[in-house]
A and B are shown apart, each in its own frame.
Chain A
Amino acid sequence: MRSPFAYISRPRPLQLASPGAAVTYLGSLIVVAFLFSNPIVLLAVGLALVIAGRLAAAHAAVRAALWMGFTLALLIVVVNALVVGRGETVLARLGEWPLFGQVDVTLEAIVAGLVLGLRAAVVMVGFAVYSACVDPDRVLRALRPIAGRSALTASLVSRLVPVAAADAARLRDASRLRGPGAAPVGRAALARRLLAGSLDRAVDVAATLELRGYSLDAPRAENRRSRSRYDRRFYVIGLAVLAIAIAGKAFGAGAFGEYPATEIGAGVATLVVAAAVALSGLAPWRRRPRSARSALSDRRTASQSLPAGPRI
């Protein structure tokens, strides 16, 4: 079974863009999520990433990231509410707890936890869209001239994970085939077996990569073909989002105070930054049906960027 975060090649602008352009665009949104703690701006970043993911047809990745992100956010809210007793508005007193001392649940601690959780969820959606829409092979190929060994190590690791997942699926199927009377195989036993065989599998993956010429320099023609007609759009929008965010910060946008009382800035500057960020989610939009010729050209570009990874 394929992971929802696995890259799937599709003839969509985000998938067709070069890795640099896609990383600039998605990276700028993630940077904005770390620059601001204001929930209005964070929600705008989240909205932009969800729209971008859906326009890039990464529905499963967005759904899974939202589910995981909101679960994590809920955990953060609960922990923050129990651990941080600061804030003016006490909602409940939970008495003296071992290690925690006096536990006072405050509205401000819950809001602060929500903001932390929201940021975590937004960043998870960002990385999910990146994982599902940016071809890892093209990223590694782009990195090869800069850091050859690191690229090789990253290639090895990025292939080991799906290999381990496939091995786990095979082992699970094999355990089921023993019949209904057999004792179920626990996760710990499965993990032990995978760990025991991981060195052999790593050698297999490394040998396959070597056979496919990973130790050789990439052909120059291959490097030239990594550009796309969508690159400029993503570069411009990514850099514009960053510029607006930094300028907004300088003008006092995104003010947010957690303690002792929650203060959420909702001034014009904050709303402008939030609107600009949210609109940037439309960057992967396909404006009009493409002509047969450009579609053919895009498909060729996509097929050239298909992973040359091992089928082990």
Chain B
Amino acid sequence: MRGPGTAVAIALLLMALATAGCGLGPGSGVKDAELTVTRDYGTVPVVHRQLGDLTESDTVMRALERNAEITTRYGGGFVQSIEGLEAEESGGGSLDWFFYVNGVESTIGAADYALHGGESIWWDYRDWDAAMRVPAVVGSWPQPFLGGYDGKQRPVAVECLGGGSACNEVEERLGAAGVDLSSRPSSGAIRILVGPWLQVRDDPAAAQIERGPQTSGVFADFHREGRDYRLSGLDEAGDTTVDFGSESGLVAATRRYEEPPVWVVTGASGAGVRAAAGLLDAGDLRDHYAVAVDGAKETPLPLR
């Protein structure tokens, strides 16, 4: 005969399960999210859906599985193919599926990434020979400023590094998108650096851009020409393809180690910075890794 200890243990277990938020089924519904599937650095759209059926038990993998034809590998932990596009490694290059939630590359697998609602999920099929890691992208604007990343809301800080009127424009555009700006800088904030490259490059995260896409994940480069800097666009292989003019600008995102993502709104000159600030809207940034602007001409990066 079992003693009262067993009954107490069972009662405690049931109480613990009840208080831990347990229950049958997938749980209650959460806010809608957005799913985008593209290939070749966002240039070719494959799937775009508004996810209205999310529940609190949903992960990036479950959301994808319900909305696209996929196959997986390694016990369901990694995506092998979406809509028939298979990951492959051959002499021609290494092609694989990468995903971003709110424009930030995840450090955990899609099957373990829990969704809370409101996220922007972006799967992209690309060659990763030139940049194995692209830690952050700008194509989910106004994310990550609205919803944060890794399931947590983060403060947002604009750092004006000689950007002048461009700083005001960046703040206005963030405000118009519904982003609350942090009044004082904090260590966990997602930062937006606004200013000419000469000053922005002093920031350790932004300085990664000069070390190439393998380090920063940004397919752009600034090189010195006399006392000024000039912006170049790189192709998928990381080679310089285009030298932009003296009034060119760049909007890009990067991340140093596990620090919060850093966006740069910069240019070779003040005019370039202002042109870059004008790119901050969904129409110009949508599904791009980074965008350069030269005069009135916008160029998604990497170049193709």
Query: Which residues of A approach B to under 8 Å, CB–CB?
Result: 84-88, 90-97, 102, 104, 108, 257-261
Q: B21, A258: Cβ atoms under 8 Å?
A: no
- Assembly CA distance A45 to B32 (angstroms): 47
Q: Which chain A residue lies CB-closest to B73?
A: A259
Question: Is the Cβ of A94 less than 8 Å from the Cβ of B20?
Answer: yes
**Contact call A91/B77, Cβ cutoff below 8 A:** no
Q: Which residues of A contact B70 (CB under 8 A)?
A: 260
Say how far A108's CB is from chain B's closest CB, in angstroms. Answer: 8
Within the assembled complex, what's the spacing in Å between the Cα atoms of A60 and B112? Answer: 45
Cross-chain pair count, CB within 8 angstroms: 64
The answer to whether residues A95 and B26 also contact, given A86-B76, A261-B65 and a CB cut-off of 8 A, is no
Residues of B within 8 A of A (CB): 16-17, 19-27, 55-57, 61-62, 65-66, 70-72, 75-77, 111-112, 114
A260 and B21 contacting across the interface, CB-CB below 8 Å = no
Known: A102-B114, A104-B57. A91 touches B72 (CB 8 A): no
Q: Please, how many angstroms separate the alpha-carbon atoms of A161 and B10 in the complex?
A: 41
Chain A residue at smallest Cβ distance from B61: A260
Bound-state CA distance A88–B55 (Å) is 12
Q: A260, B26: Cβ atoms under 8 Å?
A: no
Chain B nearest CB, measured from A237 CB (Å): 34
Contact A93 B66 (CB under 8 A): no
Q: Which B residues are CB-close (under 8 A) to A97? A: 20
B17 touches A95 (CB 8 A): yes
Interface centre among B21, B70, B76 (most CB of A within 10 A): B76
When distances are taken between beta carbons in the complex, the residues of chain B under 8 Å from A259 are 72, 75-77, 111
Contact yes or no, A88 B66, CB < 8 A: yes
Q: CB < 8 Å: which of B17, B55, B114 contacts A94?
A: B17
Cα(A91)–Cα(B25), bound, Å: 5
Q: Say whether, besides A88-B66, A93-B57, A104-B57, A258 and B76 are in contact (CB < 8 Å).
A: yes
Other A-B contacts than A93-B23, A95-B17, 19 sampled, CB-CB below 8 A, are A85-B112, A86-B111, A87-B76, A88-B66, A90-B25, A90-B26, A93-B25, A93-B26, A93-B56, A93-B57, A94-B17, A95-B20, A95-B21, A104-B57, A258-B76, A259-B77, A260-B62, A260-B70, A260-B72
B20 vs chain A, min Cβ distance (A): 3
Q: Please tell me if the beta carbons of A257 and B26 are within 8 angstroms of each other in the complex.
A: no
Query: CB distance A91 to B76 under 8 Å?
Result: no
Q: Are A96 and B25 interface neighbours, CB within 8 A?
A: no
A77 to chain B, nearest CB (A): 16
Chain A residues near B75 (CB-CB < 8 A): 84, 86, 258-259
B48 nearest CB across to chain A (Å): 20
Query: Which chain A residues border B65 with CB–CB below 8 Å?
Result: 88, 260-261
Task: Return chain A residues, CB-CB under 8 Å to B27.
Answer: 90, 93
Chain A residue nearest in CB terms to B71: A257
- Compute how far the CA of A257 lies from the CA of B71 in the bound complex, rounded to whole angstroms: 9
Residue in chain B with minimal CB distance to A84: B75
Q: Which 3 A-B pairs have the closest CB atoms?
A: A259-B76, A95-B20, A90-B26
Residues of B within 8 A of A92 (CB): 22-25
**A93 and B71 contacting across the interface, CB-CB below 8 Å:** no
Chain B residues within an 8 Å CB radius of A261 = 65
Report how far A95 CA is from B55 CA in the complex, Å.
14
CB of A86 within 8 A of CB of B61, answer yes
Complex Cα spacing A93 to B56, Å: 10
Q: State in angstroms the CA–CA spacing of A94 and B14 once bound together.
A: 11
Residue of A nearest to B19 (CB): A95
* 11 CB-based A-B contacts, threshold 8 Å: A84-B75, A88-B66, A91-B24, A92-B24, A93-B25, A94-B22, A102-B114, A258-B76, A259-B72, A259-B75, A260-B62
Chain A hits for B21, CB < 8 A:
93, 95-96
Cα A95 to Cα B70 with chains together (Å):
28
Q: How far is the CA of A104 from the CA of B19 in the complex (A)?
A: 15
B238 CB to closest chain A CB (Å) equals 34
B20 CB contacts on chain A under 8 angstroms: 94-97
Contacts of B55 in A (CB 8 A): 90
How many angstroms between the C-alpha atoms of A85 and B26 in the bound complex? 12
* Nearest-neighbor residue (CB-CB) of B27 within chain A: A93
For the complex, give the distance between the alpha carbons of A37 and B301 in Å.
45
Q: Closest Cβ of chain A: how far from B72's Cβ, in Å?
A: 6
Residues of chain A lying within 8 A (CB to CB) of residue B72: 257, 259-260
Residue of B with least CB distance to A102: B114
Q: Are A93 and B114 in contact, with the CB atoms below 8 A? A: no
Known A257-B71, A259-B111, A260-B70; contact A93-B22, beta-carbon cutoff 8 A: yes
How far, in angstroms, from A90 to B92 measured CA to CA in the complex?
40
Taking the closest CB of chain A, its distance from the CB of B150, in whole angstroms, is 14
Given contacts A257-B71, A259-B111, contact A95 B62 (CB under 8 A): no
- In the bound assembly, the distance between CA atoms of A94 and B23 in angstroms comes to 7
Contact A260 B17 (CB under 8 A): no
Across the interface, name the chain A residue whose C-beta is closest to B57: A90
CB of B227 to closest CB in A, whole Å: 54
CB distance from A5 to the nearest CB of B (A): 33
With A90-B27, A102-B114, A257-B71 known to touch, is A95 a contact of B22 (CB < 8 Å)?
Answer: yes
CA A96 to CA B20, docked complex, whole Å: 6
Provide the residues of chain A in CB contact with B62, threshold 8 Å: 88, 90, 260
The smallest C-beta distance from B299 to any residue of chain A, in angstroms, reads 37
